[in-house]
Structure 1
Amino acid sequence: MYVAPLVRREFALLARSKWLWLLTIPIFWVGRNFLTIPIAEGPLLTIGTASNATTLVSFAAIIVCFRSIIGERESGTIRVTAGTPLSRTDVLVGKALGRGLALALPLGGAVLCLTALGWAQYGPPPLIPYLGFLILALGFCIIYSNLITAISATASSTVRSAVLSITAIWLLGNGTNYVLSIYSFFTRQSITISNPPNDPLLFLAVRAFPRSSYRTLVNTLLDLPNTHQFFVDALQITASSDTGFAVNHVFGPNPPVYLSPWIAALTFLMWLIGPLSLAAIRFQSIDLTRPVSTLSTKFVGVFPIQLRQLWIHIFSGPFSVFSVLVSDRDRLRVSAWMPVARREFTHKSQSIGTPLLFVLVILGVLWQLTGAIPLASETLGADITLAAFQIPVALFGILGPVFFGFRTIVNERESGAIRYTTGTPISRTGVILGKTVALIFAVTTPLVYGLLIGSSLGILWHGLFSPFVFIGMLAVSILYVSFHAVLIVSISAIASTTTRSAALGFGYVLIAGLWQVIQRSIYSFVANPSYSLYRPPPDTVYFLTRRLFPRHLFNVISNWVLGIGNSSATYATALQIQQAAGEPNNAFISPTLVVDTAYSNQTVPLVLEPWVAGVFLILGLVGVLAMTVYHFQTTDLT
């Protein structure tokens, strides 16, 4: 086969990368946390924990595959590959399969380590289910390598490939939750995971995602109930009176045939070949001799010129005011970085990403307003509109800087353009400051505009909110975005290639999402094994490490501004925890996630005061900026 040499080349290139093997650590670490679950102790637990850790491959596939095709299109080397006897379909299959097999290397290392630990604790896992799991895990790797390679083949720029890849993984990973929310919205039914309604279409919809079909097949191998849920949930179904999403428990001994494990296997196979097949059809019609389109040219005929000019004018307003104020008051010429900031901001203002971020923020606020729990509405009153800012800002305050900024320095270094910039009278410090300021305005402007529109709609539903709380939430949001803008510019300045910059940026997003799991894992390792992680005693170090990540610092400050409590959880969770703390028999969630509750009979340590979280965020911003400037001053840009 012509494709075999390409598969070997892609596999060999990635297998020699130390970055790829580093992925073994988070996969193993996540799996290790499930090896001590009391309800599931036994040899099958080894397979169950390894199957859950395997799902992290979906995030790793972004790093490995998002530039697989578009990277070569931008550099022009794809024409060399296309000039070989390989067909375009062969190129897609070879790159996807080679990278998928390479992605299986760190997964295999993590699975072997988990198997060794499980073997030592519970004995050897049963051979046939274990081999079946290994085949499913390899297929899961290839599903996501195919999907991201398909996106890379059809995207018109590296940035767009990254955005679409992250979006696809996010939607597929949370697809079941979105399906349940949409179903609940249209049917006006309250859905619980323990006892869902017996609607076959609902079950079919939640099983249509790759992770759902994968878990269904793993549960079948382990002789557990026919459900798309995690294997621990499947075990709990067998030990309780709840039905969960177990098909036989809900529909009896004769469930609909399309909810059988065989259909889950067909769904798994469809995800294995479907995305790459569709991409191959599209890839056949792409003219590889033409340069890759820019962010603006592809959409030039979609939106009227007047609308695009109006958006750019509105979007540029805050930065224009800022530049005028700085120029008028800058008598010491400390703003020599302003030309760099103006050029960078002008480039980003023409991106389709800015109006897209604006729309997504509005949709995020509306989603939070329509899904607000009654307890939050009763407690906050009209300020529930401002509480709806928290989750959209926490999410887009990370993703916005990553998408807009991961190429800001390293792309100019790769092209050599950075030498022209640094050859001007502008110092290297000025380059860093200019690009950082531009990125801050490029993200905060559409974000704040979106919050303004969302708050206006909230007034129509819930009435006028406190203007002081509104100003406080905007200030905290801008500080949060500014920290991440500084961090991403730092990553782009330190990384030697665009791929490494993207990998570090996406890795940071992954750590941000898993920080609570990571923190509990580290604490369980260094603390006494009998230490209760979910109901610990008042422990300053535990609470401090739990909130030290920027996203949780933002939650602490925004909860403080909203008057909810001293907690690193989201506002809704913090309110539910406080309510549960007043009911001794309520085991909803650990009440110690709220400092006020944990230290109800003691003095709260100074480092756990809410305003100290703001100090930490500011110190982090200044510290990262200082280290970036120092590193960039000593970097050889040639």
Structure 2
Amino acid sequence: MTVVDIARKDVADAVRSRALWVATAIFLGFILLAQGIVLAVVENPDPELAARFLEGPATEVVLPILGLLVGYQAIVGERETGNMKFLLGLPHSRLDVLLGKFVGRTAVLSVAVLGGFLAAIGMIAATIGLPPLAPIAAYVLFVVLSVAAIVSIAVGISAVAETRTRAISVAIGGYLLATVLWSYVVDGLYYAVTRSLPGTDPPTWLAIVDHLNPLTAMSTSADVFLPEASQIAITATEEGVSATQTEQTPSGTAETLVHEPLFLVAVLVFWIALPLAVGYLRFRDADLS
């Protein structure tokens, strides 16, 4: 039960330090802002369209940053303060500490995410009608799994790094790679194989490589799990700018492997397991003196 004990302590520390409340407030603010824009700008929006806006900056930009911030100090912070020797002096192994930190910090961020989604769904239901709950539930569960993957990466970095400065530097570098540079990496790999740049219809193997990025997998999951939504037509006139929904259109999910739910889940499971394994192997042999 030592993993559970460490996770429980981590959650309690987050509550006392207000980290849980800050993370919840940030995610809640961004996801409600997206819903507020839909309700304020679009004329007579339907619940399906509002549900599509559960995907947006809150999940694709803010959530990864929160995950890295929540997890990057998990191990290295305890080492720098000297608390790690105290933890290991109790009946805890280094694996217990690593897994307990991962579980605790995943739980903290998951509570923030669930709170934000519940508030957004409540806002939709109270204003324009109840959205389809089954696909939303599947999407929310996938986002929670994404939270676990992001926190695992952060905790793995924390276990490998020797100082907080190095940990945050690697975390920032990884975030920039996943969000800004990843498309160049994928294009570069395609060029190395084919001596040309990918066109409008890239091969399946390139799409698979692209979706090895967990943030890409999370972005695609909205097309897979959330309901199809109508497009928004924006019109500018002398009286101002208005937005209306046009006819229903498919969300764009192609019949390829990267749009299979099991594939997307497998990508996230891989990113949960790999950083924890690498982090443990490094942390297991680390000199804490």
Query: Aligning the two structures, in what range does the TM-score lie when normalised by the shorter sequence?
Result: 0.7 to 0.9
2-side partners of 1:271 and 1:224: how far apart? 28
2-side partners of 1:94 and 1:215: how far apart? 28
Counterpart mapping for 1:440-479 below 5 A:
none
Counterpart mapping for 1:181-200 below 5 A:
181-182=187-188, 187-189=195-197, 191=199, 196-200=200-204
User: Closer, same or farther in 2 for the Cα pair 1:62/1:40, shift >3 Å?
Assistant: farther
- Cα contact 1:179–1:205 (8 A) shared by 2: no
What one-letter code is carried by the residue in structure 1 that aligns with 2:128? Y
Q: What residue is the counterpart of 2:59 in the other structure?
A: 54
2-side partners of 1:47 and 1:279: how far apart? 37
Task: Indicate which of 236, 246, 254 corresponds to 1:247.
Answer: 254
Aligned length: 267
- Cα contact 1:213–1:267 (8 A) shared by 2: yes
1-side partners of 2:209 and 2:124: how far apart? 34
User: Closer, same or farther in 2 for the Cα pair 1:280/1:130, shift >3 Å?
Assistant: same
User: Closer, same or farther in 2 for the Cα pair 1:150/1:138, shift >3 Å?
Assistant: same
Task: Indicate which of 211, 214, 219 corresponds to 1:210.
Answer: 214
Aligned residue for 1:50, secondary structure, equals coil
Counterpart mapping for 1:244-393 below 5 A:
246-248=253-255, 255=256, 257=257, 260-288=260-288, 290=289
Q: What residue is the counterpart of 1:9 in the other structure?
A: 9
2-side partners of 1:102 and 1:153: how far apart? 19
Q: CA deviation at 1:19?
A: 4.3
Counterpart mapping for 1:215-614 below 5 A:
215-224=219-228, 239=249, 246-248=253-255, 255=256, 257=257, 260-288=260-288, 290=289
- Cα contact 2:224–2:260 (8 A) shared by 1: no
User: Closer, same or farther in 2 for the Cα pair 1:274/1:180, shift >3 Å?
Assistant: closer
- Cα contact 1:175–1:206 (8 A) shared by 2: no
Task: Indicate which of 129, 135, 147 corresponds to 2:135.
Answer: 129
CA offset digits 1:220-259 (Å, max 9, x no partner)? 222559xxxxx99xx99x738xx97x433xxxxxx4x566
Q: What residue is the counterpart of 2:145 in the other structure?
A: 139
Aligned residue for 1:9, secondary structure, equals helix
**Could you say which structure has the greater relative contact order, defined with CA pairs below 8 angstroms and 6 or more residues apart?**
2
Q: What residue is the counterpart of 1:586 in the other structure?
A: none
Task: Indicate which of 167, 187, 208 corresponds to 2:173.
Answer: 167
What one-letter code is carried by the residue in structure 2 that aligns with 1:207? H
- Cα contact 1:47–1:133 (8 A) shared by 2: no
Q: CA deviation at 1:108?
A: 2.8
Q: CA deviation at 1:69?
A: 0.8
State the TM-score, normalized to the length of structure 1: 0.38
1-side partners of 2:120 and 2:196: how far apart? 43
2-side partners of 1:216 and 1:50: how far apart? 13
1-side partners of 2:55 and 2:9: how far apart? 29
- Cα contact 1:23–1:106 (8 A) shared by 2: yes
2-side partners of 1:109 and 1:287: how far apart? 40
2-side partners of 1:120 and 1:87: how far apart? 49
CA offset digits 1:197-227 (Å, max 9, x no partner)? 23222211221111222233332222559xx
What one-letter code is carried by the residue in structure 2 that aligns with 1:215? S
Q: What residue is the counterpart of 2:77 in the other structure?
A: 71
Identical-residue share of aligned pairs (%): 23
CA offset digits 1:366-423 (Å, max 9, x no partner)? xxxxxxxxxxxxxxxxxxxxxxxxxxxxxxxxxxxxxxxxxxxxxxxxxxxxxxxxxx
What one-letter code is carried by the residue in structure 2 that aligns with 1:279? G
Aligned residue for 2:206, secondary structure, equals helix
Aligned residue for 2:276, secondary structure, equals helix
Q: CA deviation at 1:125?
A: 2.3
2-side partners of 1:172 and 1:12: how far apart? 31
- Cα contact 2:149–2:272 (8 A) shared by 1: yes
Q: What residue is the counterpart of 1:31 in the other structure?
A: 31
Q: CA deviation at 1:122?
A: 2.7
Unaligned runs of 5+ in 2: 233-244
2-side partners of 1:39 and 1:58: how far apart? 32
What one-letter code is carried by the residue in structure 2 that aligns with 1:109? G
- Cα contact 1:64–1:99 (8 A) shared by 2: yes
Q: CA deviation at 1:2?
A: 2.0
Q: What residue is the counterpart of 1:521 in the other structure?
A: none
What one-letter code is carried by the residue in structure 1 that aligns with 2:147? C
2-side partners of 1:197 and 1:24: how far apart? 39
1-side partners of 2:26 and 2:65: how far apart? 11
Stretch deviating more after TM superposition (153-162 or 141-150): 141-150
Aligned residue for 2:55, secondary structure, equals helix
Q: Which has the larger radius of gyration?
A: 1
Q: What residue is the counterpart of 2:87 in the other structure?
A: 81
What one-letter code is carried by the residue in structure 2 that aligns with 1:59? I
Q: CA deviation at 1:130?
A: 2.6
State the TM-score, normalized to the length of structure 2: 0.79
What one-letter code is carried by the residue in structure 2 that aligns with 1:214? M
Aligned residue for 2:130, secondary structure, equals coil
Does residue 153 of the first structure (1) align with residue 163 of the second (2)?
A: no
User: Closer, same or farther in 2 for the Cα pair 1:247/1:11, shift >3 Å?
Assistant: same
User: Closer, same or farther in 2 for the Cα pair 1:142/1:26, shift >3 Å?
Assistant: same
Q: CA deviation at 1:88?
A: 1.1
- Cα contact 2:138–2:225 (8 A) shared by 1: yes
Q: What residue is the counterpart of 2:114 in the other structure?
A: 108
- Cα contact 1:21–1:105 (8 A) shared by 2: no
2-side partners of 1:104 and 1:184: how far apart? 36
CA offset digits 1:17-58 (Å, max 9, x no partner)? 334423334423432443317599432344432333223221
- Cα contact 1:148–1:165 (8 A) shared by 2: yes
2-side partners of 1:40 and 1:144: how far apart? 36
- Cα contact 1:65–1:152 (8 A) shared by 2: yes
